[in-house]
Structures are given as C-alpha cells and as structure tokens.
C-alpha cells in the first residue's frame, strides 16, 4: 500500500515541478492536451489562451484556491 502512495505522490510532485518550471522558464510552453488532475481533454482554445496550462479550467480554479488557502 505505502509503495503505491509513494509513487502517486512522487508523480504528483513531478507534475507540479514541471508546471512550475513551465511557468518560470518557458512563456511559449506547450499546453497539456489533457488535465493533469482529472484527465479531461483541455479545449484547444484554452491551450492557446493559456500557454503551458496543465489543467482544465475547473481544476485550475481548484488549484488556485488551494494555493491561496495555503493548504496541502
């Protein structure tokens, strides 16, 4: 059980680092085609409007809320 949890959190951490790196370094970052959180396809319009986006609009909202609240 713990191995599975470790792998999941490692993956999550990796994706988060990738997202942060994309924000910091690459303004022309390639947007994800699918949300890293829920796996839903991200509309092409959103991919164009939000370069380097990794989440669908819903999950991005959730993520920003989480970051504001400072909770893990």
- Per CB under 5 A, the segment of 7-15, 17-25, 52-60, 62-70 that binds Zn ion is 52-60
For residue 22, what are the β-bridge partners?
A: none
Dihedral sign, CA of 4, 13, 42, 70? positive
Find the part of the chain contacting Zn ion (CB under 5 A) among 2-10, 11-19, 26-34, 35-43.
Answer: 35-43
Nearer to Zn ion among residue 30 and residue 43 (C-beta): 43
* 34 φ, ψ (degrees, to nearest 5): -130, 145
Site residues (vs Zn ion, CB under 5 A): 35, 37-38, 40, 56, 59
């Amino acid at each position: 059980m713990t191995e599975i949890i470790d792998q999941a959190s490692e993956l999550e951490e990796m994706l988060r680092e990738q997202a942060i790196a994309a924000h910091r370094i690459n303004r022309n970052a390639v947007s994800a085609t699918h949300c890293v959180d829920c796996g839903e396809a991200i509309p092409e319009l959103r991919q164009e409007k939000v370069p380097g986006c990794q989440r669908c609009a819903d999950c991005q909202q959730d993520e920003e809320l989480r970051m504001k609240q400072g909770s893990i």
